[in-house]
Amino acid sequence: MKIVVIGATGTIGKAVSSALQEHEVIQVGLNNGDYQMNLESPESIRDLFASIGKVDAVVSTSGQIVFGAVNELSDADYAMTINNKLLGHLSLFKIAAQHLNTGGSFIVTTGYLAQHPIPGSAAISTVNAALDAFVKAAALEMGDTLRVNAVSPHFVTETMLAMGMPTDGGISAADTALAYRHLLEGDHNGISLDVRDFLASR
């Protein structure tokens, strides 16, 4: 398969690219990778796909977010989280769908905080829940032409270490990447795959 991984220079993105190494993986980042793309710029997204042509799958592990107490989050904090992770992915889907081969796969990253908020997660919990809903709705309209799914990671061990947090309950990036591979190589459509539940069921 020819697979585009957006956010490929991040912790999860690197692990996903590694897990798919037997495929043709095109790594896309904001400033690095095989190609560069700004998720908030539809023109940048269009330029990317004009350069790479038809593909079999698009996986996005990207998305800029703001954590903060709900009574301290500014309008700009909400706008950045919504414009990048939510509206950016809606634009990505709209444009990528025109370049995906029939029966192709589009996977977006949401997160555990959509269903299990913690203090400080108001903005990101809202956006993740919205993306989960979008995946379910979009899949109803795509039929057999395109599979649309989400992966819902838990806290990633490497990120927790980098932030100086205790790693109890963390899941490695490599194990998280297995959920993306499962969706790419399976026939699921319209689901948000919880990483912990998936790993427990293997």
CATH number at residue 180: 3.40.50.720
Phi, psi of 154 (to 5 degrees): -95, -170
Share above pLDDT 90 across residues of the chain, in percent, rounded to a whole number: 91
- pLDDT, averaged across the chain: 95
The closest alpha carbon to 108, from 75, 143, 84, 80, belongs to 84
Task: Spell out a b/e string for 59-91, using b for 16 or more CB atoms within 10 Å of the CB, else e.
Answer: bbbbbebbebeeeebeeebbebbbebbbbbbeb
Q: Which pLDDT band holds residue 169 (cuts at 50, 70, 90)?
A: confident
Print the domain residue range for 6. 2-201
Measured CA to CA, the distance from residue 112 to residue 142 in angstroms comes to: 25
Instruction: Give me the pLDDT at residue 38, please.
Output: 97
Instruction: Give me the pLDDT at residue 27, please.
Output: 98
Segment 77-120, tens digit of pLDDT: 999 999 999 999 999 999 999 999 999 999 999 999 999 999 99
3-state SS, residue 185: helix
Number of domains in the chain: 1
Measured CA to CA, the distance from residue 198 to residue 187 in angstroms comes to: 15
- Of 2-11, 123-132, 161-170, the poorest mean pLDDT is in 161-170
- Write the CA distances from 24 to 39, 52, 56, 73, integer angstroms: 22, 12, 10, 41
| Tokens coding 77 | 């904090």
Segment 45-70, tens digit of pLDDT: 999 999 999 999 999 999 999 999 99
Q: Which pLDDT band holds residue 167 (cuts at 50, 70, 90)?
A: confident
Instruction: Give me the pLDDT at residue 17, please.
Output: 97
Measured CA to CA, the distance from residue 119 to residue 81 in angstroms comes to: 16
Q: Which pLDDT band holds residue 126 (cuts at 50, 70, 90)?
A: very high
* Beta strand ranges found along 41-99 (DSSP E): 55-60
Phi-psi region of 183 (alpha: psi -120 to 50; beta: other; left: phi over 0): alpha
Type of residue found at 123: A
Measured CA to CA, the distance from residue 121 to residue 54 in angstroms comes to: 37
Q: Which pLDDT band holds residue 165 (cuts at 50, 70, 90)?
A: confident
Phi, psi of 34 (to 5 degrees): -65, -35
